[in-house]
Structures are given as structure tokens and as C-alpha cells.
Structure 1
Amino acid sequence: MNPGPTFDRVYLALKEQLLSGAFVPGAHLEPVAIGEHLNASITPVRDALHRLVGERIVEAPRHNGFRVPAPTEAELRDLYGWNAELLGLALRGACGRMRADRAHGRAATVSASDLTAWHAADLFRFVARRHGNPELEAAVENMSDRLAPLRLAERAVFADFEDEILVLRSLVAAWEAGALRREVAAYHRRRQRQVPELLLAWRHLPGMPETTIK
């Protein structure tokens, strides 16, 4: 892998585009075209794509080129389900740590005003960090990356999307463990029920046809 600054620049720029929904699901990612777009040679582009394959943000089917993942309905339900499982595990561990910290008068707090700009990924990252296991935190972070384009699509599918995030923010700020566990579970079940609509909305995110690199 190329460890130089060009690789870092290309990797971060390409990852940002993928997470921001700049590519349609299943879009072919051509290293030469990406290199021209990012003013880079093919080597750091291919290295960046291989790293993103390792993170499961990009696919390399049969090692025959690169493409944006295009999950089926069943696969997307599984992704949401696994994210819910990870967060359930994080919440169980975090609640135990919170009880111990409160017993010793050292519980960490966060105010609702601190969370004003936080969205689902930020809230879930905070929960994972409270668990205290770096491996779990990394797993939650990776799931947030893989679901990032879908979270943009969620805004088009759920009319009360912002209200839902406000509820999560308030529960995280107050650290109401039982209510937070129930809300996180309901959050994911709701998305699992709307998977067909979410996949359709993902395909029609603003700007997609113009920004896809083929």
C-alpha cells in the first residue's frame, strides 16, 4: 500500500464521496477516471480502492474491477439488524460502566446543547465509546460508514426524521438507559420495514447521475 500523502488525499476524498451518496448503488468505479477526477496517478487510486474494499465500503466482485455496493433488500435488513445488535451490546456495557462511575462520583455527562449538531452516526459513536472497548467502537464506526448513504435516503423516506434524531439526542444526553435501548431498537426495526423505499430513495439522491464516476 502507498503510505504517502497522495494516497491519504485520494483515500479520504474518495471515501467522502462514497459516504456522501455521490454514487449510485452498483456503480462501476474506474481507477483511471477517478485518478483524472482527483488529479492522481492510478497507483494511489487502486490502493485507496483496495483499502475501501477491506472496509466493505467498496466491492471487488470476483476481483474484476470495483463497484459501489448494491445490497439486496435482505442484505440491507441484515445490515440494519447487525448495527442494532452492535449498539445493543454497546449499551449494555456502557450502562454497566455508567453505574460504576456514578457510584464513584465520576460519571461523564454531556448536555443536550452539546448534541445540537449530532446525527445518528455521532450519537451511536458516543454510545460505543462509553462501552470502553476499542474493537466495538471500530465496528460501530465501520457500520456507520457503510450505512452513510442510506442515512441520507432516510431523510426522504421518513417525514419525522429530524424529530426522531431529537428524541435520540435527548435520551443520550439524559442517559436514560432503558428508554434509549428501546428507542435504538425501534429506530432499526422501522428502517428494516422500509427497506424497499430506502433502496429506491438511495438511487435517487440529488446529484447522483452527474457525480458517478464510470
Structure 2
Amino acid sequence: MDAIHSKSVFVYRQVRRALRSGSYAPGQRIDPARLAAEFKISPTPVRFALYRLVGEALIVDHARSGLHVPLLTEVALRDLYDWMECLLLMACDICAATATAKPEPLEISADGDPVVLTWQLFDAIARATSHTCLHQAVKQANDRLAPIRRATQGLFERGLEELSELHRLWQACDMPALKSALGEYHERRKQLVPSIVALLSDRSDYFH
């Protein structure tokens, strides 16, 4: 059992890392047999790992059609953007009230990966609060949004510039300005929710 648990934890971390980086697209099927072959292990620990991710809402089980990366409706995607925004604004308020913020510098350059950098910045803001529950909530929302960020990069021409400004405000510990910028960041995405969902639905056709 210990060996199965150890292998399951390994697969869980590998797949979660791939989801976090946006390596899997929204709607894409995740094949347990293929993962078992890739990692050269039996299907059992792979299934344990994947159903742990189902429990975290990072994968959905469509029964007969198998396990997939979530493909959100307009309502669900707008709710997820709202949730991430609320969590980050709460984190900013906590940091401002307790002076706990210890900004961690990120290297944001023209050839940087906006998806990875966005995950890291939002995670750093939440982690600085020292509130474990808040940090965990941001991590989960971050993971759920990562595949969407990867698939929709072309919709935001100034994405890296936008991220650089958020990072600058975070480094300056300017919480009022950061909260305003985070609100604008999420509002731009919420306004494009219909286009985002349509784009993701079209792309998901390739995975069925």
C-alpha cells in the first residue's frame, strides 16, 4: 500500500504541475492508461491520483466519456473570475492591515511565460498573508484558471505588460493601487467571458 501511495502522490504532483502550467487544454481528455504507460506504473495509483484531482475540481469525471479538464460555462467562468478577484482583494486587505506583505520579486521579461508568472504572482500575494486557508483557496483557483489562461493568451495583447504593472504595484506594497489594478484585470476578463467560452468550446472539439 505504501508503494501505491507513493506512486499516486508522484502522479498527482506531475499531473497537477501540468494542469498548473496549462499543458492540458480545457475540455481535453486525460487518459489514465496513457499516464500509466508514460510513468511506467500500474493503473491503480494513476486512478487514485486523478480522482484526488477530481475532488479538487481540477478534473471532472464524465462517466462514460472519462476524465477531462473542466470546460466551464459562462456562468461558471464568471463565478471563478469573481472568486479569484475576491480572494486577492482580501489578501491585499490583510497585508495592508497587518503589514505582513513581503513581496517576492519575479523575473518578468518579454520572453517570460505569462501563465506561469501569473500563477506565481497571485500565489505570492496570498502566501504573504500567512493565512493558510486563504492561500489554499487561491492555489486551487489558480490551478483551475491556468488552462484557461494558456488557451486564451491571444485574446489579451497587453497581457505581459498588464502583469508587469501588477507586479510593480505588489513590489511597491501599494495595496490601494494594486486592488484597483486587480479589479480592472478581472473585469477585462469577465467582459470577454462569452468569447472565451466560445473559443474554448471550439478548441475542445479536437479532444473528443
Please give the per-residue CA displacement for 1:51-72, whole angstroms capped at 9, x wherever unaligned: 1011110012469842221111
Corresponding residue number in structure 2 for 1:59: 60
Which of 108, 116, 132 is matched with 2:107 structurally?
116
- The answer as to whether partners of 1:154 and 1:161 remain within 8 angstroms in 2 is no
1:172, 1:56 → 2: CA distance? 29
Corresponding residue number in structure 2 for 1:79: 80
Counterpart of 1:175 in structure 2: which amino acid?
C
Q: Percentage identity across aligned positions?
A: 32
Q: Does 1:16 align with 2:17?
A: yes
TM-score (norm 2): 0.83
Unaligned stretches of 5+ in structure 1? 102-106
Radius of gyration: which is bigger?
1
Counterpart of 2:141 in structure 1: which amino acid?
M
Alignment map for 1:115-134 (pairs within 5 Å): 115-117=106-108, 119-134=117-132
2:25, 2:167 → 1: CA distance? 30
What is the deviation of 1:139?
Answer: 0.5
1:92, 1:161 → 2: CA distance? 25
What is the deviation of 1:94?
Answer: 1.1
Corresponding residue number in structure 2 for 1:142: 140
Counterpart of 1:58 in structure 2: which amino acid?
I
2:103, 2:124 → 1: CA distance? 11
- The answer as to whether partners of 2:25 and 2:147 remain within 8 angstroms in 1 is no
What is the deviation of 1:204?
Answer: 7.4
Q: Does 1:170 align with 2:168?
A: yes
1:89, 1:188 → 2: CA distance? 15
Unaligned stretches of 5+ in structure 2? 109-115
TM-score (norm 1): 0.81
1:109, 1:196 → 2: CA distance? 34
1:150, 1:13 → 2: CA distance? 19
2:25, 2:103 → 1: CA distance? 40
2:202, 2:20 → 1: CA distance? 15
Once the two structures are overlaid, the 10-residue window that deviates more, 52-61 or 184-193, is 52-61
Corresponding residue number in structure 1 for 2:48: 47
Aligned residues: 198
1:31, 1:43 → 2: CA distance? 9
- The answer as to whether partners of 2:8 and 2:46 remain within 8 angstroms in 1 is yes
What is the deviation of 1:187?
Answer: 0.6
